[in-house]
Every structure is written in structure tokens, then in C-alpha cells.
Structure 1
Amino acid sequence: MMQGRHSKDGGRASSLVAKATTKEPMTQQEVEDLVLKLNEIEAVKFGEFKLKSGLMSPVYVDLRVIVSYPDVLEQVSRMMYAQVRDTPFDIMCGVPYTALPIATCMSLGFGLPMVMRRKEVKDYGTKKAIEGAYKRGQRCLVVEDLVTSGASVLETLDPLQKEGLEVTDVVVLIDREQGGEAHLAANGLKLHAAFKLSALLEVLQRHGHVSAATAAAVRAFIAENQTKLPPAAAPAAAPAAAPAAAAKPKRLPYEARAASARNPMGRACLELMARKRTNLCVAADVDTAEEMLALADAVGPHICVLKTHVDIFDEWTESIASRLQALAERHDFLIFEDRKFADIGNTVVSQYGGGIYKIADWSHITNAHLVPGPGIIDGLKKVGLPKGRGCLLLAEMSSKGALAAAGPYAEAVAAAAEANLDFVMGFISINPGAWPKPSSPGLIHMTPGVQLAEGGDDLGQQYNTPPAVIGARGSDVIIVGRGVIKAGDPAAAAAVYQKAGWDAYEASLRA
């Protein structure tokens, strides 16, 4: 099968492929030009719009208008094709009705066979739901204009599958970032979006077509109005032969969950993990700042997060903080200062934003106990939210006899996180799979006390292996300290843990 092109042999197919290969991916300048054209033709509007759900939205995307602008339609089809040019498929199907002209333009421009789904099946003639030439077992790419919840895509999925067509990929122009990517992933579909609504906003704001206030209102609306999985997409329940435990929810890939993360640092972390293929956090519990910087440089290529305890050091300066930030940028990892704030809101404002360490200035992530009550989140948020920082709540700890454990305390922590999704990006947890209900898919679970072999130390630390933490317990990030920092070659040890953690994650996706 040829990737992204007609797979049949013959002169006609060869000429179509030759025509397709003359079209190169769009440049960044062309992408920006398309966004500006969409704004010019009012395919994207800002104001107050009542949606089908009854909600009032500050943004309305109406791509039906592009059929009146052939140059825009061609640019849209070319940009969408660029997203799937390396994805194998035999035919395409546009979701009726707005995506039909887009799919047709892609078909004509790149020599791609397509079929059509009837929205209303006739009760006479062939009575087909899918029109066109196709064979069972062929791989079909679904083409849609934009995705919000994914409901319209899932409505098209069912009749295609009933005809024996295999559907694994969906391409859209715009992802509204309201949960659609995660919902499609839950149904085995990978979303390829030309751009996200936030990226469109950024271009329009930079060119002066959208004010900062309007952009902020749209981003807040997106964050506060995440869609739920459409009921029609839920798999039918199998007949119960005998009482059994509830089925374990299927793990969503990190990249699919990123769209559901309302905290920007939570989203960045999930995207980083998928991009870098690592779920390893190294705990830099060393004696000096220079040792910490040397360790960060050594293990940086293998980690998603570096966890620090800077109050261990006898020296801390802005220069040290700047050097650490430079290493994080060079090696593409996030900095997590494991401060474990545990005071009233007014006090943590000063502790987080000021003092000797000025943690909020350089640390992407910090954490807190909920013992003082939700006011501690309010205090940390006051400092961290304007800087785009993220907070992890301590729900469970890995030390023996810890009072922060599964049960009422962890449930209260989970509820506090759900109430503060703009700032709380996840949890420090030990066994999130045992919690009574799943948390929001955008929330991240990080588990400390991980080594390659189970056991503990003489101070009560309990160790678990990567497969146990990621697979059996359903966590997302393994936090490894002594297994790396006490190794003769920390970089080599980090590489081993990176592979172990990622292998466990990939195995859990197949489970």
C-alpha cells in the first residue's frame, strides 16, 4: 500500500501520484496566510454566538463559506493533506456536509480516491449508506472540517466499519481543543489537525485582528467547556455471563490527553513526553547546586522532568537558576521544585514568589499538601497562574505509614484538583488506579520511589518497578532518585529507566 496515495497500479494511478508529488507541504508563511484569509472571509468570527448546546461562545468557526473561495479551499485541502502525506490509507471519506468539498478538493489535487457517506439513507435503489468504489479491508481516512467533541466523526465511523472498511485516522483543519482528540483516541482513532484553535488565535492576535482580551476570553471558554464523550460513541455493553469486576478503562496516549489539560504546563508536559518518548523524572537529591547542574546535563536527554530540592544546597543564586533553565531548554525537560508547600494561602504567596529561592521564577512545576485546605491552592495560583506554572497536589506518598494515602484524603485531593484545573496539573500519587473514580484525562499522575527491583530502605521508603507503577497502577511518570544518582554512570542509568518506563507505557496502551 502506498502512503497517503492511490494504491492501485496502472498508468492512471501513476499520473495521479506524479501530480500529487508536485505539491509540497505548506510553509509557515502560507499557514499564516491561510489563517488571515479565513479571518478575512469570516470563516472565523468573534463576538457572542449561541451554540447548538445552548452555550454562548466568544468564537464561531464556520468553514462552510470556503466553498465560495476556490483559492482558500485549495489551500485548506493542501494543508490538510500535508498532515497525512505519510499516513497509509487507500480511500477517503468526507464527513457530510462541510467536509465533502474539502475531501473532493483533496481527491482532485492529489489523486486520492474517495467515497461518500449518505447522511440520509434512501429507502429505494441500492439503499447504500456509503457510495463509491471500495473493497472490504481497505483503509479509509476520515476527512472533517473541524473537531469539537468528535461526535460527527464517530457518526461516520459506524457505517464505514459496517462496510468492512478499516478506519484509524482522521484529518481536520481545526481542532477546537475541547476534548475531541481524546474522545477519538478512546475509539481507536488518531487525530491529525492542521492547526489548533489556540494557534489560529495566536496568529490573529499577532497581526492585530484579535485583541488580547478577546483571545483570553476564547482560551478561557475552551478551558471551561470541555466536551464529554458522546453517548453514541460508548461501546455497547457485552451480555453479562457472571458478576465481574468493572472493566479497567483503556489508557489514552499522552498526546491525546494533552488536549484535555486545562493547565498549560500540564499540556506541555504531556506533549513533551510523547515527543521525547520518555516518562522519566529524575530526583536530583544531591548535595550541591553544581552537582545538580552536572546531573541535569547528563540525564537531560532521557527525562521529561528534573525534580529538585534546592533548599538542600548551601548556595542559591539567580545565576544558578539561569543555568538550570538553560539546561532545561537545551535538553527539552521541565523543572519541578519539590517544595511541598503546606501553609496557609497568604504565607505560600511569599514562599513561592519571594524569599531566597523565588521558586515561581524558574520552576515550571511545584507541589503542595492539601492539609491547610483549598486556600493553599488559591495562594499558589495567585503567583503561579500568571506565569503559566503548574501545581501537583500530594495525594499519596511512597514512605511507609504515610497519612497521605488512598481513601478519603486522596478523594479530597482529587476533588480539589477538579475544582482548580486551570492551575493544578496533576498529583503525586502511588496507586491512582485504586481511586474510586477516574480523574480528568488531562491530569498527570507522578509516582516516586521507583527502582528496577521492588524493596525499600531503612527509612521507610518503598520502591516499585516501572511496570508496576505505569502498568498495574496506572500512573504516568516514574520518579527515580537513587537508582540514577547513585549509579556509576547516571546518564546510562537514566537511559535504562527511560526505556523501562516507556516500554511499560506502550505495553499499557495495548492492554
Structure 2
Amino acid sequence: MDAKIDALVMRLHEIEAVKFGEFKLKSGIMSPIYVDLRVIVSYPDVLTAVAECMWETLKANGATFDNMCGVPYTALPIATCMSLAHDCPMLMRRKEVKAYGTKKQIEGAFEAGQTCLCVEDLVTSGASVMETVEPLESVGLKVKDVVVLIDREQGGEARLASHGLRLHSVLPLSRVLKTLEAAGKMSSELVQNVKDFIAANQTMPVAGAEVKKPTRMSYTARSELTDNACAKQLFKLMETKKTNLCVAADVDTAKELLEMAEILGPEICMLKTHCDLYPDFTESFGAQLMAIAEKHNFMIFEDRKFADIGNTVVGQYSSGVHKIADWSHITNAHIVPGSGIIDGLKSVGLSKGRGLLLLAEMSSKGTMAKGEYTEAAIGMAAQHPDFVMGFISTNPKAWKAEWSKGLINMTPGVQLQVGGDAMGQQYNTPHNVIVENGSDVIIVGRGIYKASDPAAAAKEYRAAGWEAYQTSIA
């Protein structure tokens, strides 16, 4: 087995599945080593060897199971090879659940109570494994064992163990380094560099080490984690312009809105509109507002709050009087109609590079958007990562579901002083919204557009919001 594993390491290096240099990881940090196992599908001998080594490791460790499921997507061909070679039933997890047909997240023949093996190619923190384990367990399957080819030894095993899962790895990363150094493929300096990187970038605390309070990632780093073009643009815009301020300019006319956009444009990352408020709305409005947005480098968010079936929102978004999709970078929707509303809006907005926010929580008193409703919104977002860019939320840090760092949270009802109004709107400060509640964008309305000097008020809110962001990443 040792000779077989050493030969596999050399082959992985030969096909550049293991590379050395300077690589930006999904987390945004730079790594001296990059493991890209997606390439093995083009080398049948390597794919077969990987599957066999993983199977032999499982059997040597006494793992038992009724079926197996590969983590999408790289582990799917590995699981398929293991299934075919050893007559073990295989299941599949959908990353995007369809809104039609059976709407299943787990595909295949199984019975509740059976034990399912989770197959992954590489483990760092264990987060991607849990994204497959949780839906498997939600349909009644038991998951006890996880098998991977390479363990980066950055805390994934400890994290999985905290969930009652046993990790079986063919190749701890230290074994890869040892084999390549012995073969003259790595210098001792490079080996030490990689070991230092691994030690400095643990995802779980090392025994006896000082536990540091985790901080959020920068907007720039998170821009690399999103699949939505609009979210990527907004993250980078906020970092470059140094503002996380969105103004909800709920004025009475289109003329006032355009004037306000010119005044506030230099201070904001986004302008939130309500186009159905404007009696003087014309076909030229969108082009005029887009020109101002380009001039001052901000994005447009039409707060339409779509809430109808998919077929209806297609027309509401693309046509009618307002033709929202033609000029608004971002819009939002309630999830009451189900995921079909996302499919409808996506059919219009995705090709235009637009982004959708789901109303996961609201800031008004007595809101029903909480608890199970919020969890349902998070689940729907996970099914459409290319179009859903984030949420309207009030306290994302408190959510039970694991929060995706590639999604943007925006919180309305922000003022410099805590309080509320006679209509049930609850206000919060920029510090509470960003630092304490984990949001990303502060949405300010009357505190700016009703101020005696809106431009000065915008500067004040911009400074408060940015200071809160800097505090949160310090």
C-alpha cells in the first residue's frame, strides 16, 4: 500500500494536480501550494488509482456503509469509480434543486436509516463535506464516515469529528510533502514554507494554542467567493470607494430622485429606488439614472419586492411601464410564492448580469419574516448562487444556517440613534448593524433625504458605516 500511495503522489505531481507557487484560495488568502484534483478525470489511470486507494483505506480502517454519495462536483467521478468497482450503491446530491419534477435534493434509491459514506476529494475546513452531510441526514440517512484523498491538515478532521464524523484520508498533506521531497521534487525550504503556511492557517484551534476571536473577511476577498457578477462588482466597489452606504431615497417624483442621485452619488455604493412612486416616470428615467450611477460609481437597487408566481414576475421585471431589468442592477423578492419566483426573475436578469436579494428578515415591528421563513430563504439562495446575491436581513450573525461569505447582507432602517417611528419601523445604528449583527450594507432613508443638508448627512453616515466595517475586520 505504501508503494502504491507513493506512486500515486508522483503521478499527481506529474499531471499538475499538486502545484507549488503563489495561489489565491477560495478564502482569499495566498497559499504556496494548490491542489486541483479536477484534472484527474482526464487521466483514467489516476482516477482509478485514487478510487482504489480510497476504498482500501476505508476497508483497512473497518468502515461499513450501505451506500455512498460524492460531494459535488470533483468527488462525483471518484465515487462513481468506487461504486462500479465494488458494487456499492451510489446516491447524488443536487447543488441546485429543480423547481419542477420531484424537486429532490438527494437522488437515487435508498431507505431511511441506511448508512451513507460521504466521498470528497480534498478537505480543508470540512465545510463542503457538511454541505452534503446535512441534506443526506435530512432525508433519514446516517453518515458516520467521510473518505478523502488528501487532507490539508488545517482542521478539517477536528471539525468533522465535532459533528460525529470519522475522517479517512489516503494522503495527509505532510505525506505528500515527504514523498515529493524524497524524490527531489521539492526543496527543504519549500517544504518548510508549506508547513509554516498550514500551521498559520488552521480552521480549528490547535490544542494549547491561543484562540483568537474570528473576524470577517474583507469585501475584496469575499468578491472572489461569489458566483454572481453583481455581488462581485458591489464588493469591489465598496472596497475601492470606501463606502457601504445605500440611500433609500423614497422621494415623491422621478425629478427629485434624479436630483438626489446627483447630490448623494459621491458618498454611496448604492441608491435604492421605488419607481412606482413617481407620477412623472418616463421611458428616459432609466437611462438618466444609469448615467448618473456611472458618473459617480454606484449601483441601482429597485426595491420592487416581487411577490408573485414565476410567470407573472417575468413580465413585471422585463416589461410593463417600468422595464426594471433594463436599468436596475439589483432587485429583491419575497419567497412566499416559493422558488419559482427566483426562476422567473432569473430567466430575465441573469443574462443581463443582474442580482437578486431575498427578503430573509425585515426591520418593521411585528414582521413575519423570521425563524423558519428566514431559514427557507437561505435554502433557496443556496440553490441559485449565480443569481441570488444576498439578503435583506437584520441579524445574519444569529442565523442557524452556515452563512456563505460570498453573499451580501443589507440592512434597512439604519439611523445614528437607536429607536423607531410611528409606523413600526425599527432603527439601528451603523455599528450595531455591521459589527454586532454581521451585515454588510447599511440602508439609510429619512435620516439622509429628509435632512436639511442631505449631502452632509450622507457623509456622516458613510463615515460611520465604513468605520464599523473596519472595526469588524480588525
1:236 is matched with: 205
Contact 1:394 1:429 in 2 (8 A): yes
1:350 paired with 2:387, answer no
1:285/1:396 CA distance change after superposition, 3 Å: same
2:218 is matched with: 253
Contact 2:255 2:280 in 1 (8 A): no
Instruction: Report the CA distance between 1:122 and its aligned residue.
Output: 7.7
2:189 is matched with: 130
**Counterpart secondary structure, 2:365:** coil
TM-score, with length taken from structure 1? 0.56
- Greater Cα shift, 269-278 or 464-473: 269-278
**What are the superposed Cα offsets for residues 166-214 of structure 1, whole Å, 9 maximum, x if unpaired?**
x9xxxxxxxxxxxxxxxxxxx4xxxxxxxxxxxxxxxxxxxxxxxxxxx
Matched residue type, 2:459: A
1:390 paired with 2:321, answer no
Distance 1:458 1:505 in 2: 30
Contact 2:303 2:332 in 1 (8 A): yes
Distance 2:252 2:321 in 1: 18
Distance 2:411 2:42 in 1: 43
Distance 1:330 1:289 in 2: 18
Matched residue type, 2:189: I
Distance 2:197 2:288 in 1: 54
Instruction: Report the CA distance between 1:159 and its aligned residue.
Output: 2.9
Q: Note the 1:135-284 alignment, pairs <5 A.
A: 156-159=193-196, 187=201, 233-238=202-207, 249-284=214-249
Between the aligned residues of both structures, percent identity stands at: 56
Distance 2:473 2:194 in 1: 22
1:463/1:235 CA distance change after superposition, 3 Å: same
Instruction: Report the CA distance between 1:321 and its aligned residue.
Output: 1.2
1:464 is matched with: 428
**Counterpart secondary structure, 1:445:** strand
**Counterpart secondary structure, 1:281:** strand
Instruction: Report the CA distance between 1:161 and its aligned residue.
Output: 9.1
1:305 paired with 2:270, answer yes
Matched residue type, 2:203: A
Distance 1:373 1:321 in 2: 29
**Counterpart secondary structure, 1:130:** helix
1:494 is matched with: 458
Instruction: Report the CA distance between 1:489 and its aligned residue.
Output: 1.2
Contact 2:332 2:356 in 1 (8 A): yes
2:393 is matched with: 429
Distance 1:429 1:249 in 2: 21
Contact 2:318 2:348 in 1 (8 A): yes
1:98 is matched with: none
Matched residue type, 1:291: E
Distance 1:283 1:122 in 2: 59
Distance 1:159 1:461 in 2: 51
Contact 1:129 1:159 in 2 (8 A): no
- Greater Cα shift, 476-485 or 433-442: 433-442
Distance 1:312 1:461 in 2: 19
1:323 is matched with: 288
Instruction: Report the CA distance between 1:234 and its aligned residue.
Output: 1.9
Contact 2:378 2:401 in 1 (8 A): no
Q: Paired residues, what number?
A: 305
**What are the superposed Cα offsets for residues 42-73 of structure 1, whole Å, 9 maximum, x if unpaired?**
xxxx9x846985678xxxxxxxxxxxxxxxxx
**What are the superposed Cα offsets for residues 464-498 of structure 1, whole Å, 9 maximum, x if unpaired?**
00000000000000000011001111111111111
**Counterpart secondary structure, 2:284:** helix
1:417 is matched with: 381
Distance 1:314 1:383 in 2: 26
**Counterpart secondary structure, 1:396:** coil
Instruction: Report the CA distance between 1:240 and its aligned residue.
Output: 11
Distance 2:293 2:181 in 1: 59
1:235/1:355 CA distance change after superposition, 3 Å: same
Distance 2:181 2:354 in 1: 55
1:334 is matched with: 299
1:441 paired with 2:430, answer no
1:365 is matched with: 330
TM-score, with length taken from structure 2? 0.60
1:101 is matched with: none
**What are the superposed Cα offsets for residues 53-109 of structure 1, whole Å, 9 maximum, x if unpaired?**
5678xxxxxxxxxxxxxxxxxxxxxxxxxxxxxxxxxxxxxxxxxxxxxxxxxxxxx
1:506 paired with 2:470, answer yes
Matched residue type, 1:450: V
1:399 is matched with: 364
Instruction: Report the CA distance between 1:158 and its aligned residue.
Output: 3.5
Instruction: Report the CA distance between 1:437 and its aligned residue.
Output: 2.4
Instruction: Report the CA distance between 1:404 and its aligned residue.
Output: 0.8
1:408 paired with 2:377, answer no
Q: 1:482 pairs with 432, 446, 449, which one? A: 446
Instruction: Report the CA distance between 1:239 and its aligned residue.
Output: 5.7
1:478/1:160 CA distance change after superposition, 3 Å: closer
**Counterpart secondary structure, 1:373:** coil
Instruction: Report the CA distance between 1:319 and its aligned residue.
Output: 1.4
Distance 1:249 1:404 in 2: 28
Matched residue type, 2:325: A
1:473 is matched with: 437
